[in-house]
Structure 1
Amino acid sequence: MSGGAAAAVEPGAEGAEGAKKGGRKKLILLAVPLLLIGAGAGLWFSGILPGMLGMGAKPAEEAVSEPPAIVPALFDMPEIIVNLNVGNRRASYLKLRSKIEIADSRDVAHVQAAVPRLQDLFTTYLRELRPEELRGSAGTHRLREELIARANVAARPARVTDVLFVEMLVQ
């Protein structure tokens, strides 16, 4: 009986050991792909993998050959004094000092050459304004938009991005 009892215990013990080995195999089969995915993600987000695949930053030679960054510039416009359109009422005047923001500082020469045309377009537009049209922030915003549009026409090929008011006096 002792032999029979030992025989009965041994198959159960082998079954438990087999279950442990099968569980380890399943754990390894699940852990290895997860470790590979984790390592790949770590390499990707650290920038090592894109660099190895040629998708990373450009080499120093290519970076030097890029054109210089576009730097905006400000150009001082001459002071403009005009009489406003008031109809039959007492005369009203506008004194305007402004700066023009140019998208690329290399275009300052184009704007400098266009100053007479800019003054003419600005003055012609300003003389048709009524004092009521300049009141409040909405009036100033409309004035700015109109002057930007005229400046872009006059200073072409330079691109004017903004007109900044230094002084605006309505009297």
Structure 2
Amino acid sequence: MADDEPIEDELKKKSKLPMIIGLVLMLVLGGGGFFAVYSGMLFSQEDPAEDHAAAEEDAPVEEPLPDVAFVPIEPLIINLDTKNGALKHLRFQAQIEVPAKYEADVTLILPRLVDILNGYLRAVDVYELEDPTALIRIRSQMLRRMKIAAGEERVRDVLIMEFVIN
């Protein structure tokens, strides 16, 4: 009877190794089978030659660039007054994106647009200008004001070329 106990212990210890190996193999083979079916290597209903032809047809067709023009705004230097009395300067330069057919119209009213920019940028608080996310808000405000002055269809966007606070 004492001889039977070591044999049973050895059988229990040996029986776990095949189970672990079987579990690992099951996971690896199951994952490989899933990948082969999911990627289309097995049981694919499409012909690979058709895939290649379809890929060539779906290639992006280069569309012509939109008919736009850019009206440059001369660099502006704006005095900014801080609350502590220190004087700072904002150097600002931008271009206005317009449809090409309205380029002459926007160039004609450019002094009005520069006046709008001067008035708006002088009114903005210096601490708001120094905020890293402020440029997005300021740009959208300037665009809105320009669209009101020039006409909604005449101004597409404002491209800020330089925005430096000294």
> Given the two structures, how large is their TM-score scaled by the length of structure 1?
0.55
Is the aligned partner of 1:138 residue 2:137? no
1:109–1:158 CA distance, 2 compared to 1 (3 A): farther
- 2:147 aligns with 152
Q: 1:73 aligns with which of 49, 65, 69?
A: 69
1:157 Cα deviation after fit: 6.0
- 1:164 aligns with 159
Aligned residue type for 2:77: I
Give the SS at the match of 1:77: strand
Contact 1:152 1:160 in 2 (8 A): yes
Percentage of matched positions with identical amino acids: 29
Q: List 4+ stretches of structure 1 deviating above 4 A.
A: none
Is the aligned partner of 1:96 residue 2:92? yes
1:137 Cα deviation after fit: 3.9
CA distance in 2, matches of 1:142, 1:154: 19
1:118 Cα deviation after fit: 0.4
Residues 49-102 of structure 1 deviation map (CA, whole Å, 9 limit, x = unaligned): xxxxxxxxxxxxxxxxxxxx9612211111111112423420111110101111
Which piece of structure 1 moves more, 111-120 or 134-143? 134-143
Give the SS at the match of 1:99: strand
CA distance in 2, matches of 1:83, 1:158: 32
Q: 2:114 aligns with which of 114, 119, 124?
A: 119
CA distance in 2, matches of 1:143, 1:170: 14
Residues 130-171 of structure 1 deviation map (CA, whole Å, 9 limit, x = unaligned): 221123442000110011011112222643221111111101
Q: Which consecutive residues of structure 1, in runs of 5 or more, have no partner in the other structure?
A: 1-68
Aligned residue type for 1:169: V
Which piece of structure 1 moves more, 72-81 or 141-150? 72-81
CA distance in 1, matches of 2:164, 2:145: 21
Return the structure number with greater helix share: 1
Contact 2:106 2:154 in 1 (8 A): no
> Given the two structures, how large is their TM-score scaled by the length of structure 2?
0.56
Give the SS at the match of 2:143: helix
Q: Which entry has the higher C-alpha Rg, 1 or 2?
A: 1
